[in-house]
Chains A and B, each alone.
Chain A
Amino acid sequence: MDITAMPALTLARMIKEKKISAVEITKEQLKMIKLREPLYHAYITVAEEEALAQAKEIQMRIDAGELADSPLAGVPMAVKDNICTKDIKTTCASKMLSDFVPSYDATVMERLKQAGAIILGKTNMDEFAMGGTTEKSYFGPSGNPWNTTHVPGGSSGGSACAVAAEEAFYALGTDTGGSIRQPSGYCGITGIKPTYGTLSRYGLIAYASSLDQIGPMGRNVSDCAVILEIIAGHDPKDSTSLNRQDKDFGNALVGDVKGMRIGIPKAYLRESIDHEVYESILNAVKIFEKKGAIVEEFDLETIEYALPAYYVIACAEASSNLARFDGVKYGYQTMQFEDLQDLYQKSRREGFGSEVKRRIMIGSLVLSSDYYEKYYKKALKVRSLIKQSFLKAFDQYDLLLGPTSPRTAPKLGENAKEILKAYQSDMNTVSVNLAGLPALSLPCGMAKNGLPIGLQLIGKHFGEKDIIRAAYSLEQTVGYVRPTTLLNEVGKEDLL
C-alpha cells in the first residue's frame, strides 16, 4: 500500500514509533502532489519550502518528546484557501486576494501548528466559498479524483480532492451551506461541520458569519473526530466561539448504535433524488437497523423554505463582509481610475468573479430599506422556524439521516448552465447551517457511473458525539474506498 494512502492517525503512530520521520513523509507527500496536481489541481498554493522547514522543526519537537500527547504530530495536511495562514498566500480563490499574504494565523492554524501539523499548502475552492463545484475559482477548477471530468464539489472542493487524491492526509474545509459535506460526499471522504460556535472563526475570511464554520475533512471518521478535538474550543478573539467541556470527540469512536433513534426527513428522499442515491441510503438504513438502531421517516416542517432563507441570509451577510475588498488597503486595485468612486467600482468589478458579484447584489438588495422587511427579516423568521422544527425533531430522534446531495458529482460545466438547479443541490445541507447544528458526511456506496455517494448525519446542538458514533458504526461495514484512478496510476513507480 502507498504510504500516502494511510489514515492520518495510522501515520502519526508510525512517526511516533520512529518507523518514518515527519521529514520523510512530507517529502513523499510533496512528490505525490507534484505527480498528481496536473491532473487534479487540488491546490492553489503548495508551500513546499515552508512544509519541509516545518517538518524538520516538528521532528525535532517529537524527538525532544514534546508532542507525545499529540495524536496527529508530524502528519502533513492541507488548508482551504479562505483560512488565514501567516506568511502563506491566502487568496479565497479570488483575483481580489490573489497576492494577499496574511500577517497572522487563523486560530485553528495556531492550534494545529501547536499540535504538530505540517501545512502542505492551500487548497482550491469556489471564490470566497460561493459555489458548489470549485469551478468558480479564479485559478481554475479542480478535478474529482474518481473521474476528472466531474467536479469535486464545493466550495471546499480542493480540500476534498486533496484528501481523496492522497495529496494530503487530511484537510480543513469551511461550511456555510454544505461546503464541507457536499464535496466530501462527491469525493468519497468524511467531513464534519461542527455545531456553530464549536471553534474559532478568527482568521476565516468570512462569507456569511452567522453560518460559517470550519471543519475537518479526512479519509475516515476517526481522523476527523481527532482533528475536530484539536481545533475545537473557545477563543478570546471570537466572541461567537463557545467554551465546550464535551469536546473529547475521540471518545465517541465506538461501533455501537443499539437503541439509537434515527429520523429521516421525508423531504430528503423526495422524487427529485437520484435513484441510485436513494438505494444507497436505504442500504445504509438497513445496516443501521441491523446494528440495532430504530430508523423512521418523519415530516421536518418548514424545511422547504430553508433554501431561499439561506440564500437571503448568506448573501446579505456576504454583501457586507466582502465590502472591505475595495481596492484601497490591500488586494486587487484597478490600474487606472478617475476618482474614489471609480477606484471602488473598477477594483470590485475587475477583482470579483460573476458568482461573487451575483451574491453581493442579491445581498445588497435584500438589505436595502425597501426590501429589508420583505426579504431579510422574513428570512430570519424562517430561520428561527426551521430551528424550532429541528428542535422538535430532536425530541424524538438522536440524529437525522439523509443523502448529503440528491445526486453524485456533476460533470464539469454542467452546473454553470442552470444556476437555480445548482442552488437546489444544497437543499439537504443548508438547513443545518441555518439551525447551527452539527452534521457529518461519509461515503455510503458507489453509483454505477463510478462516483461515490455521501450520507449525511445531522446531530442535535452539541451532538457531535452522536453522529461520530453512528458514522463510525456505519464505516465498520461500508468502509473507505480509494479512488480507482489512483490504483491505475501511470509513472508512479518511477517516483517511488
Chain B
Amino acid sequence: MKTYETVIGLEVHVELSTKTKIFCSCSTEFGGEPNTQCCPVCTGMPGTLPVLNKQAVEYAIAAGLALHCEITRYCKFDRKNYFYPDLPKAYQISQLYLPICRNGYVTIRSKNGKKTIGIHEIHMEEDAGKLIHADAGDCTWIDFNRCGVPLIEIVSKPDMRSTEEVIAYLEELKRTFQYLGISDCKMQEGSFRVDINLSVREAGAKELGVRTEMKNLNSFKAIARAIESESKRQISLLENGVQIIQETRRWDDSKEISIAMRSKEDVRDYRYFPEPDIPPLCIHEEWISEIRNRQPELANEKVERYQKQFGIPAYDAAILTSDKYLAEIFEDTVALCGKPKEVSNWIMVEVMRLLKEYEMEAAQIRFTPMQLANLIAMLDSGKINRPVAKEVFEQIFKENVDPEEYVALHGLGMVSDDSVLRSVIEKIIHDNKQSVSDYRSGKAKAFGFLVGQTMKEMKGKADPTKVNKILKELLDQKEYT
C-alpha cells in the first residue's frame, strides 16, 4: 500500500461577543426565549436597513491583528443570496470581494515542534436564525434571536497535515479570541463552529487532491474522529481506483460516519454582489493603531513574561496561559500573596487535576484568587500542613468554602507543640519495636513507616518537619529502647 498525506484547511465561524447585533441594536445574549431578541431589521421586514455595529468591526480588526493579518483599508460588504427559512432577508450580508483581514498566520506547537499555519482571510458576516423541528407532526418553528449576531469566519490555508495540528490550531484560535475578549468560543453553544476541508494525496505529491467539506462538528473529539474517518474513506476510495467527488458532507458523531449532503454539481450559485445598503468601510491607520494599543497581552507574550518576571519554566508558563481564565487566576493570586512558584504549583497540580476530574473548563472555576492566596498564607505560616492544605483546597474548589473557617470548623490546624508531638512519637516507638530495630540496622524505609504512623495517630495534622526532627532525635538516642 502507498503512503498518503492528509491535507486539511479549516473554516472557523466565531460569534463575536458584542452586546448588540451586527446591524441592529437587539441583544446577542444566548439562550433567551425564542423571538424575544429581534426587531424589524434583523427579521428582514420590508423597508428596513442594516447599520453596521462599530464594535463588531473593531473585534474583527483585533482578531486580524492578533493573527498577523493585513487589515483591508477599503473594505466592503456583499450579499450572499439563498433561500432558507432561517435567513429572513433571503440573503446573508457577508464579505466576498474585500474581506476585512487577509494573509495572516498562526504559530502552533505540536510534538513535531513549531509550525506556521497560514490564514487566507477573515471576513465578517451575520449569523442566521435557528430552526426548531417539532417532535410531533411536520411542523418547524423559527427562532430569530440568533439572526444578525456578528460572526467572523477565519479561513485557513490548507496547511495542516494531522488531527494533532488541527486541534493545536483550533486551541490557538480559541485561546487568542478569549484573551482578546472578542468571543467566548463555546462550541456547545455554537459560538465556535468548525468546517473541515480535507483531501488526501500520495506522500510527496505536489498537486492537492480533490477535497470534501465536512460540517456539523460539535466538539474537538468529533473533529478528531471526523478527520480520521474521512482520511480513511478517501484513501480507501483511491486505493480502489475510485475518484473522490468534491462535495459537502455532514458528520454524524453518534454513528461516527459522514453523509454526503450536496455535490459540486448542485452547488448553489449565491449570486454575490456588493451590498448597496452599507457604504464601503474606510479603515484608517489611526483607528488600527488605537485598536492595536488596546490589545491585551496575549498568551505568547505572557509565557515570555512569566519566565522573565517570575522565573517560571517555559513548560509551566505554557500550561498557565493555556486558558485566559487560568492565567487570570494565576496573576491575581500572585498579586495577593507574592509567591509565583507556589501559586504556579497549585494551579499546575491541584487545579488541573480537579478540572480534569470534574470535566470542567477553567471558565467555570468558582473559587477566588483571594481564597487560594489565603490558603497559601496559612500553609506558609504553619497554620496547616501541606496534606491538610490539599484537602482544604479540594473543598475550596468544590464547595467554594472559606479556608480559614473550614480549618477552624474541622480542627485541621497544624500541631507543632514539641511536648505533644514528643509524647505521641514516644508511644509510636514503643508500639513498633520491630521497625525501630529495622531502622537501627540501616533500613531507611522503616523511618518513613514510623512518620506515617505518627501522622496517622495525629489525624494528619502534625507538623511534618517537627515529626521528622523529633523522631530522628529519639531514635538516635542510644539509651532509648
Residues of A within 8 A of B272 (CB): 367
The answer to whether B46 touches A205 (Cβ under 8 A) is: yes
Chain A residues near B79: list those with CB within 8 A: 320
Chain A interface mostly: loop
- From B47, B278, B279, A84 is in contact (CB under 8 Å) with B47
Interface contact B48-A323, CB-CB below 8 Å:
no
Closest to B278 in A: A239
User: Interface stretch among A17-25, A99-107, A486-494?
Assistant: A99-107
* B367 close to chain A: CB less than 8 A: no
Is B464 among interface residues, defined by CB-CB distance under 8 A?
no
Chain B positions 5 through 42: 1 when the CB is less than 8 Å from some CB of chain A, otherwise 0: 00000000000000000000000000000000000100
Stretch of B61-69, B86-94, B119-127, B394-402 on the interface side: B86-94
Q: Name B43's contact: one of A97, A210, A317, A329 (CB within 8 Å).
A: A329
CA distance A97 to B47 in the complex (A): 12
Query: B459 to chain A: which residues have CB within 8 Å?
Result: none
Contacts of B278 in A (CB 8 A): 239
- Do the beta carbons of A369 and B269 come within 8 Å of each other? yes
**Given known A209-B277, A329-B43, contact A368–B271 (CB-CB < 8 A):** yes
| Residues on the A chain within 8 Å of B277, using CB | 206, 209, 238-240
Complex interface residues of chain A between 239 and 259 (CB less than 8 A to chain B): 239-240
Q: What is the bound-complex CA distance between A325 and B90, given in angstroms?
A: 8
> Which one of A6-14, A196-204, A289-297 contacts B?
A196-204
Q: Mark B264-281, 1 if CB is under 8 A from A, else 0.
A: 000001011100111100
Q: How far is the CB of A106 from chain B (nearest CB, A)?
A: 6
Q: Give the interface centre of A84, A210, A239 by most chain B CB atoms within 10 Å.
A: A239
Contacts A104-B40, A239-B278 hold; do A323 and B89 have CB atoms under 8 A apart?
Answer: yes
How far, in whole Å, are A91 and B204 apart by their CA atoms in the complex?
64
Q: A102-B46, A240-B279 are in contact. Are A340 and B85 (CB under 8 A)?
A: yes
**Taking the complex as formed, is B451 at the interface, i.e. its CB lies under 8 A from any CB of chain A?**
no
Q: A84-B46, A202-B49 are in contact. Are A323 and B40 (CB under 8 A)?
A: no
Rounded to whole angstroms, the CA-CA distance of A403 and B49 in the bound complex is: 34
A298 contacts the other chain (Cβ, under 8 Å)? Answer: no
8 Å CB contact of A368 from B85, B90, B269: B269
Contact of B273 among A320, A324, A330 (CB under 8 A): A320
Decide if B40 touches A237 in the complex (CB within 8 Å). no
Known: A329-B88, A367-B81. A316 touches B49 (CB 8 A): no
Interface of B is mostly: loop
Q: A202 contacts B89, CB within 8 Å?
A: no
Tell me whether A323 and B83 are in contact (CB under 8 A).
Answer: yes
Interface assignment of B314: CB less than 8 Å from any CB of chain A = no
CB contact between B47 and one of A203, A208, A340 (< 8 Å): that residue: A203
A102 to B46, CA, bound (A): 8
Task: Give Cα distance in the complex from A201 to B85, angstroms.
Answer: 26
For the complex, give the distance between the alpha carbons of A484 and B96 in Å: 57
Q: Is the CB of B85 within 8 A of A367?
A: no
Is residue A90 within 8 Å, beta carbon to beta carbon, of the partner chain?
yes
Contact at A320–B46, with CB atoms within 8 Å?
A: no
B47 near A344 with CB under 8 A, answer no
Contact assessment for A210 and B269 in the assembled complex, using a CB-CB cutoff below 8 Å: no
Contacts known (A104-B40, A209-B277, A236-B51); A326 close to B46, Cβ less than 8 A: no
Residue A169 interfacial (CB < 8 Å): no
Residues of B near A372 (CB, < 8 A) are 271, 273
* A337-375 with Cβ < 8 A to chain B: 340, 344, 364, 367-369, 372
Please state if A320 and B269 are interface contacts (CB–CB under 8 Å).
Answer: no
**Among B46, B51, B89, B142: residue with most chain A CB under 10 A:** B46
- CB nearest to A212 among chain B residues: B276
Cβ of B158 within 8 Å of any chain A Cβ, yes or no, is no
- Residues of chain B contacted by A210 (CB below 8 angstroms): 276
Residue B282 is within 8 A (CB to CB) of chain A in the complex: no
- With beta carbons under 8 angstroms apart, the residue of B47, B142, B269 that contacts A202 is B47
Question: Given known contacts A240-B277, A324-B44, A324-B90, is B49 in contact with A319 (CB within 8 Å)?
Answer: no
CA distance A339 to B296 in the complex (A): 51
> Of the candidates A203, A206, A326, which one forms a contact with B90 in the assembled complex, judged by CB atoms under 8 Å apart?
A326
Question: Is A376 in contact with chain B by the CB < 8 A criterion?
Answer: yes
Q: Tell whether, in the assembled complex, residue B49 and residue A344 are in contact, meaning their CB atoms are under 8 Å apart.
A: no
Beyond the given A320-B273, A323-B83, A329-B142, please list 10 additional residue pairs across the A-B interface where CB-CB is below 8 A.
A102-B47, A104-B40, A202-B49, A210-B276, A239-B52, A319-B81, A320-B81, A320-B271, A324-B44, A329-B43
Question: What are 9 pairs between A and B in contact, CB < 8 Å?
Answer: A104-B48, A205-B46, A206-B46, A208-B276, A209-B276, A239-B50, A328-B85, A329-B43, A367-B272
**Interface positions of B (Cβ within 8 A of A):** 40, 43-52, 79, 81, 83, 85, 88-91, 142, 269, 271-273, 276-279
